Amino acid sequence: MLPPAVGLAAAGLRLAKAQQYHIAQANFKLGIASYSFRKFSREQAIAMTKQLGTPYLNVKDKHLPLNSTPEEIDAAKKQFSEAGIMLVGCGNVDFTKDDQADIRDKFDYAKRAGFPLIVCAPTAVTLPKLEKFVEEYNIKIAVHNHGPEDPHFPTPQSVLKIVKNMDPRCGCCIDIGHTSRTGVDVVEAIAEAGPRLLDMHLKDLANPLAKESQVPVGHGKLPIPQVFLQLIKMRYNGCANLEYEIDEDNPLPGMQQSLSYMRALVLQSLPSRLR
CATH assignment at residue 260: 3.20.20.150
pLDDT tens track for 60-118: 999 999 999 999 999 999 999 999 999 999 999 999 999 999 999 999 999 999 999 99
Residue 135 has pLDDT above 70, yes or no: yes
Q: Is residue 16 part of a domain?
A: no
Residue 2 has pLDDT above 50, yes or no: no
- What is the reported pTM? 0.91
Q: Is residue 17 part of a domain?
A: no
Nearest to 51 by CA among 243, 247, 255: 255
Q: Is residue 275 part of a domain?
A: no
Residue 119 has pLDDT above 80, yes or no: yes
Phi/psi for 62 (5° steps) reads -55, -35
Distance between CA atoms of residues 33 and 13, nearest Å:
19
Q: Is residue 10 part of a domain?
A: no
What total of structural domains would you count in the chain? 1
* Mean pLDDT value across the chain: 92
Place 230 in a pLDDT band, splitting at 50, 70 and 90: very high
Q: Looking at this protein, which amino acid is placed at residue 98?
A: D
Q: Is residue 4 part of a domain?
A: no
Q: Is residue 197 part of a domain?
A: yes
pLDDT value at residue 8? 39
Residues 6+ apart with CB under 8 A from 17: 53
Place 4 in a pLDDT band, splitting at 50, 70 and 90: very low
Q: Is residue 236 part of a domain?
A: yes
Place 5 in a pLDDT band, splitting at 50, 70 and 90: very low
Q: Which residue has the higher pLDDT, 274 or 177?
A: 177
- Looking at the DSSP assignment, which residues form a beta bridge with residue 240? 30, 200
pLDDT tens track for 15-29: 566 666 556 656 689
Q: Is residue 80 part of a domain?
A: yes
Residues 6+ apart with CB under 8 A from 35: 60, 62, 92, 243, 245
Residue 259: which domain range?
26-270
